[in-house]
Amino acid sequence: MKTLIAYFSYTGHTKGIAQQVQELTGGTLFEIRPAKSYSSDYDTTERQGRKETSEGYHPALAEQVADLDSYDTILLGTPNWFNTVAPPIATFLAENNLSGKKIALFCTNGGGGLGHIVSDIRTLSKDSEILDSLNLYEDGGAGAKDKISDWLKKNGLNQ
């Protein structure tokens, strides 16, 4: 089984979780980045993110995953942006055929939980098997590694 860990991170929380997931699985790490970076000013990005998510906007991505077909499982990381996936994640899901692949979501948030992210991923990846999700507040705190490990075991994805 070949595993891709694809994630988008604005504040660094999701990136930190993705790196821990990579350490535990040995999967290939891939950062999903928009072609045009978001502002470093949080308030500006929050306004832009709210507009993009409400309009269903899919920003162009800086690059694509090489040889995506070779991966069986995708561990997909996103921050909760207004109760859904961040727009670059929506673009990734919309632009790539993930039929027959297993997708396990890990989500970081500032208090919004998973929102309707799982149902949105099911809509964007209709022919994929959606596994159990991991929901972490910000960077997951001191117990993040244990929570990640438990999530991977629950999904049969630990190394």
| Those residues with Cβ within 8 angstroms of residue 159's Cβ, 6 or more apart along the chain or in another chain | 24, 25, 26
Residue 132 has pLDDT above 70, yes or no: yes
Mean pLDDT on 27-44: 97
Mean pLDDT on 128-148: 93
Encoded amino acid at 29, one letter: L
> In angstroms, rounded to a whole number, what is the distance separating the alpha carbons of residues 23 and 29?
10
- Residue indicated by tokens 């244990």: 146
For the chain, the straight-line distance linking the first and the last C-alpha, in angstroms and rounded, comes to 10
**Structure token digits, residue 9:** 């991170």
> In angstroms, rounded to a whole number, what is the distance separating the alpha carbons of residues 51 and 150?
35
The tens digit of pLDDT for each residue in 62-121 reads 999 999 999 999 999 999 999 999 999 999 999 999 999 999 999 999 888 899 999 999
Split at pLDDT 50, 70, 90, the class of 159 is low
Split at pLDDT 50, 70, 90, the class of 4 is very high
Q: Which helix (H) or strand (E) holds 94?
A: helix 87-95
pTM higher than the cut 0.85? yes
Closest CA to 17 of 133, 129, 143, 139: 139
> In angstroms, rounded to a whole number, what is the distance separating the alpha carbons of residues 78 and 114?
10
Mean pLDDT on 7-13: 96
